[in-house]
Amino acid sequence: MPGEFYIKGKKEKVDLSQVLAELDQLGVTSDAIKTATDKLAGEAPGTGSTTADWQTAESDVISLGADGTRHKLHSLLLSIHNLVGTVITVRLYTKVKGVERKVYEQAFDATTDPPGLWIVNGTVGIHDILRVTLQSNNAADNGQVVDYDHMLEAM
């Protein structure tokens, strides 16, 4: 009958109120399960752009995550299509035992490398802010726009 549930392979009905009472006793609620499974969809993709004097000094492009909050970073892309420098250096910083440290550095050439750079192309867990910076060796890059795109998932 519709609305009735049976134990697989038996004629015995499942008492839904008993199942809910047992879940409640375990401290599990449908809201807690829904909250946990909703995280699997990830957050909305983040996109934007930053304008800075890239050659004058290393400048922040974006900061991802939050202090004390766990995230999975699935993807981080930067676009250097507006830049002309032959040494475009991308750096990532995060806290290691409470002190911000450089954890990644790579140089690119805006005249020969692709305009879109896939900086993170696999999942990495972060539990603090991940600061992304860029620096150019060409003064013509000062005041230019650098676009970014990222995918985060709350844990």
pLDDT in tens, 89-105: 999 999 999 999 999 99
Strand boundaries in the chain, DSSP class E: 46-53, 59-64, 71-79, 88-96, 99-108, 116-120, 124-126, 130-136, 142-154
What is the rounded average pLDDT of the residues 125-146? 97
pLDDT of residue 36: 67
CA 82 – CA 94 distance, rounded (Å): 27
Per domain, the residue ranges of the chain are 1-41, 43-154
Q: How far apart are the first and last CA of the chain?
A: 40
**CATH top-level class for 43-154?**
mainly beta
pLDDT in tens, 23-63: 777 776 667 777 666 666 667 789 999 999 999 899 999 99
Taking the CB of residue 144, how many other CB atoms lie within 10 A of it? 22
Q: Tokens for 139, please give them.
A: 């003064």
pLDDT of residue 3: 59
Greater confidence (16 vs 84) lies with: 84
